[in-house]
């Protein structure tokens, strides 16, 4: 275990901008690629956020005419696609890229060049998607973005109903980013299996590494079907195939199956890294080791397996057989069990702990509370008869935003504040961080708590406007007001990042008195991470180092 702080200072500090840019573009360093992923995701977070804001202001009152129905369709398609494929996934891949090699005491990923290739494929995907605004209609005139919804049901995507090239841009961008995701997943699995430092058995890996390992396995099994389905769609659109062409005997339902075989495991691809952040942050800020480590690992693997067999709960309203409905109801309910185990373990970790409510911990506590509610509304939707009533209403929209914003995004914010000192070498502003937290909590609950209500009252999703006097008006107004708070929170967050990066006080190697390996190297870590490859004897190597009189390995 070394706390060497041999920073790379042999490079002169003032280099021409072109040289710096060239270094970043050609880098194969896992930390730089991680930062590139995260910055890229932040840009798309702003874009996706603007699209959401446009939708909410269109719906603020009945018969509003801020945007046309056509633009509204493009906005919800682009918002969904952007947030899933170009915000959440690259953001989590960025953290995985940055943290996994550091946490297992390695100097880089197993395949650094594949890593760079994966990032640039993902980046190409995002550019393709947004180029559709300019090139979507091809030679027909002005551009247009895809407007087929983020799951792009057939036959909306058929040439007849989607003229021009906007759907092709959507397909190609997902195919490209899919190749990037599979590359990253292969890289993560190889790194975790082959590059762990001496002494780090699978049972001594930090939970973050375990969860990202299972996540990478899910990416391989889930994103590949999506790529296959996109290839079929390309065959249909360019070569005149009939995969999803009902006129020629093809099936629109099989696209739904193929999409959701990807689509539901994707939720777990996103939520497992979020769990990973919570599993690192909660113990450190409760001053206790994680409760029930082996059970946490087993629950993660269980989620991975069950997560592959719940996809058709997105399709109860399609009209499947009673047997299929029953199977997917039960498997969906079963997945609440390992998830519940995790929530209890986090609570047990906090129980009796000496809790420090710094910003990362605040976000994680809010995550626990909100993710529980998201899970409960999820169980209600898993009941097929109730789903027939609520499917495609704003209740569903509120449910999955509760998961993705209330669960995943809150954990991501927590992770930002927790690892910001490690990545930048400087502390963030605690007051601004707390302001961000409270603004975002208030905005989140205003928006997504009250969004359940119009859903129960029958307001369908994806409508561009509605009639007054149906009891939806006041709820839509409150929901839109929440957006203002969330946007303000995001602005505070961005300001905090920039200000702290430039002016923050020096953080030191280990500002949180934490226990995993990344805190033993300098902040920011040198290119080679560790001058001497560390060796570990327990799950909390830095605890052992700081408390040689009472090390963890005696008890594990």
Partner 1 sequence: MYCLIAAESAIFTIFVVAYLFYVGKSLTGPQPSDVLHAPIFYTVCLLASSLTIHVALRRLSAGKMAAFGRWWLLTIVLGGVFLFGTGREWAHLIQDEGLTINTNLFGTTYYSLVGLHAFHVTMGLVALIAVAVFCFTSQLQRAHAERVEILSMYWHFVDAVWVIVFTVVYVIGK
Residues that bind partner 1 (CB under 8 A): 182, 185-186, 189-190, 220-221, 223-225, 227-229, 231-232, 235-236, 239-243, 248-251, 254, 258, 261
Residue with smaller CB distance to partner 1, 220 or 334? 220
The DSSP line for 427-474 is ---HHHHHHHHHHHHHHHHHHHHHHHHHHHTTPBTT-S---TTSS-HH
**Contacts for 280 with CB less than 8 Å, ≥ 6 apart:** 206, 207, 208, 418, 516
The DSSP line for 3-45 is --------S-S---HHHHHHHHHT---HHHHHHHHHHHHHHHH
Residue with smaller CB distance to partner 1, 1 or 228? 228
Backbone angles phi, psi at 358, to 5 degrees: -75, 170
- Minimum distance from CB of 247 to partner 1 (Å)? 9
Whether the Cβ atoms of residue 362 and residue 437 lie closer than 8 Å to each other: yes
Residue with smaller CB distance to partner 1, 241 or 292? 241
Distances (CA, A) of 10 to 6, 20, 388, 524, 527: 10, 15, 65, 15, 12
- Minimum distance from CB of 182 to partner 1 (Å)? 5
- Minimum distance from CB of 87 to partner 1 (Å)? 23
**Structure tokens given for 327:** 């199977």
- Minimum distance from CB of 115 to partner 1 (Å)? 14
- Minimum distance from CB of 310 to partner 1 (Å)? 17
Whether the Cβ atoms of residue 180 and residue 104 lie closer than 8 Å to each other: no
Residue with smaller CB distance to partner 1, 262 or 293? 262
CA distance linking residue 534 with residue 426, whole number of Å:
24
Helices assigned H by DSSP within 107-155? 112-135
- Minimum distance from CB of 217 to partner 1 (Å)? 8
**Structure tokens given for 189:** 């699995």
- Minimum distance from CB of 179 to partner 1 (Å)? 10
The residue to which tokens 């006097």 are assigned: 469
Residue with smaller CB distance to partner 1, 214 or 542? 214
Length of the chain in terms of residues written? 556
Torsion, CA 461, CA 463, CA 467, CA 473, rounded to 10: 50
Residue with smaller CB distance to partner 1, 229 or 350? 229
Residue with smaller CB distance to partner 1, 222 or 368? 222
Cis geometry, peptide bond prior to residue 155 (ω within 30 degrees of 0)? yes
- Minimum distance from CB of 159 to partner 1 (Å)? 11
458 — alpha (psi -120 to 50), left (phi > 0) or beta? Answer: left
Residue with smaller CB distance to partner 1, 228 or 545? 228
């Amino acid at each position: 275990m070394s706390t060497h702080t041999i920073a790379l200072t042999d490079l002169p500090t003032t280099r021409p901008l072109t040289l710096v840019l060239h270094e970043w573009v050609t880098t194969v360093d896992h930390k730089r690629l991680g930062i590139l992923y995260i910055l890229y995701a932040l840009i798309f977070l702003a874009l996706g956020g603007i699209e959401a804001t446009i939708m909410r202001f269109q719906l603020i009152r009945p018969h509003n005419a801020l945007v046309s129905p056509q633009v509204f369709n493009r906005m919800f398609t682009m918002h969904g696609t952007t947030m899933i494929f170009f915000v959440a996934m690259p953001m989590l891949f960025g953290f995985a890229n940055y943290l996994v090699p550091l946490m297992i005491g390695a100097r880089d990923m197993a395949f650094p060049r594949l890593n760079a290739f994966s990032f640039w494929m993902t980046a190409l995907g995002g550019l393709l998607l947004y180029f559709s605004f300019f090139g979507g209609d091809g030679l027909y005139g002005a551009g247009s973005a895809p407007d087929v919804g983020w799951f792009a049901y057939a036959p909306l995507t058929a040439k007849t109903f989607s003229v021009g090239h906007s759907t092709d841009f959507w397909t190609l961008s997902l195919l490209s980013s899919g190749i990037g995701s599979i590359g990253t997943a292969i890289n993560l699995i190889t790194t975790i299996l082959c590059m762990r430092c001496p002494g780090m058995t699978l049972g001594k890996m930090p939970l973050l590494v375990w969860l990202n390992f299972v996540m990478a396995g899910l990416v391989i099994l889930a994103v590949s079907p999506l790529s296959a389905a996109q290839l079929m769609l390309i065959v249909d659109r360019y070569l005149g195939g009939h995969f999803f062409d009902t006129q020629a005997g093809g099936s629109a339902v099989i696209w739904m199956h193929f999409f959701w075989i990807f689509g539901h495991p994707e939720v777990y691809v996103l939520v497992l890294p979020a769990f990973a952040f919570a599993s690192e942050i909660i113990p450190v800020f409760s001053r206790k080791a994680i409760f029930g480590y082996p059970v946490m690992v087993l629950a993660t693997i269980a989620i991975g397996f069950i997560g592959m067999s719940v996809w058709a709960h997105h399709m109860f309203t399609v009209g499947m057989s009673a047997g299929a409905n029953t199977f997917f109801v039960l498997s969906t309910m079963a997945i609440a069990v390992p998830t519940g185990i995790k929530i209890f373990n986090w609570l047990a970790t906090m129980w009796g702990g000496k809790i420090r409510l710094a910003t990362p911990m605040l976000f994680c506590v809010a995550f626990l509370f909100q993710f529980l509610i998201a899970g409960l509304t999820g169980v209600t939707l898993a009941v097929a008869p109730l789903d027939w009533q609520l499917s495609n209403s704003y209740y569903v929209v509120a449910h999955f935003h509760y998961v993705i914003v209330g669960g995943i995004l809150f954990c991501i914010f927590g992770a930002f504040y927790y690892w910001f000192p490690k990545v930048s070498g400087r502390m963030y502003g605690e007051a601004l961080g707390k302001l961000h937290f409270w603004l975002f909590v208030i905005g989140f609950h205003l928006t997504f708590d009250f969004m359940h209500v119009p859903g129960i009252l029958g307001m369908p999703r994806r409508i561009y406007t509605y009639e007054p006097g149906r009891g939806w008006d006041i709820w839509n107004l409150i929901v839109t007001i929440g957006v203002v708070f969330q946007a303000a929170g995001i602005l505070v967050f961005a300001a905090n990042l920039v200000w702290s990066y430039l002016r923050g006080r020096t953080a030191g190697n280990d500002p949180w008195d934490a226990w995993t390996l990344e805190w033993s190297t300098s902040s920011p870590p040198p290119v080679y991470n560790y001058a001497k490859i560390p060796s570990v004897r327990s799950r909390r190597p830095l605890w052992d180092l700081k408390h040689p009189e009472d090390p963890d390995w005696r008890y594990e």
